[in-house]
Amino acid sequence: MKTRLYVTLMCLALLSGCSTLNEHECRSVDWYRLGIKDGQQGEKASLLDEHKESCRRYGIRPDEGQYLEGRNVGLLEYCRLGNAFRTGMNGEEYKGVCPLDMDAEFRRYNSAALEVYNSKKQVEDLDGQISKKEKELDKKDLAEKEKLRLLEELRKLDRKRDRLRSDLHYQERELDRMMENAKRRGGRH
């Protein structure tokens, strides 16, 4: 019985934690401005369904027309090609919200920038692992066998980091080339 109560309470906590808007926000929100904000952040139109669900609890119906009109205005800002690079470099994956005539190009640019972002994170992670192994190696009471094991692990991590850095260098050059091409073609950055 206690387990069932605990599970029920956890589910309720998770559901309330997923609300996009609280009661005050539902009652006072300017749906047009919220649509602009969500559009500027590249959110899918389905986020409106989550807003509806959040506000339904308080007996409030969103102004769907105002929200979608605002979202379309926000998307005009979000869907600039320069934003594809910026969002990718911030680790944000494109959600496929731009008009069809620019979707493939936006997706390609975002993907290239996201690849650079992910490679940088991998290099940082390896740097952390290497630093940790070096600290272990500095311990005074370390057995010779353990030192040899740590040295071998460090060599492997160094080689892996060198390969990743080489890949990252190539990815960055490709990204720079893409950005330059977009700039020449008139893509706003």
d(CA 83, CA 189): 7
- Name the residue type at position 140: K
pLDDT at 18: 58
| Domains held by the chain: number | 2
Question: What's the pTM?
Answer: 0.77
Q: With contact defined as beta carbons under 8 Å apart, do 58 and 20 qualify?
A: no
The verdict on 67 and 131 lying in the same domain is no
Is there a single domain that holds both residue 50 and residue 99?
no
**Distances 56 to 26, 47, 49, 51, 188 between C-alpha atoms, Å:** 9, 14, 10, 8, 40
Residues 58 and 48 in one domain: yes
Of all helices (H) and strands (E), which one includes residue 3?
helix 2-17
Name 142's Cβ contacts closer than 8 Å, sequence gap at least 6.
Answer: 136, 150
Flag whether pLDDT at 127 surpasses 50.
Answer: yes
Residue 188 above 70 pLDDT?
no
Range of the domain at 132: 79-189
Of 78, 111, 138, the residue that ends a domain is 78
Q: Are residues 73 and 83 in the same domain?
A: no
Residues 145 and 166 in one domain: yes
What does the DSSP assignment read for 51-88? HHHHHHTTT----HHHHHHHHHHHHHHHTSHHHHHHHH
Q: Out of 10-14, 46-50, 165-169, 184-188, pick the least confident.
A: 10-14
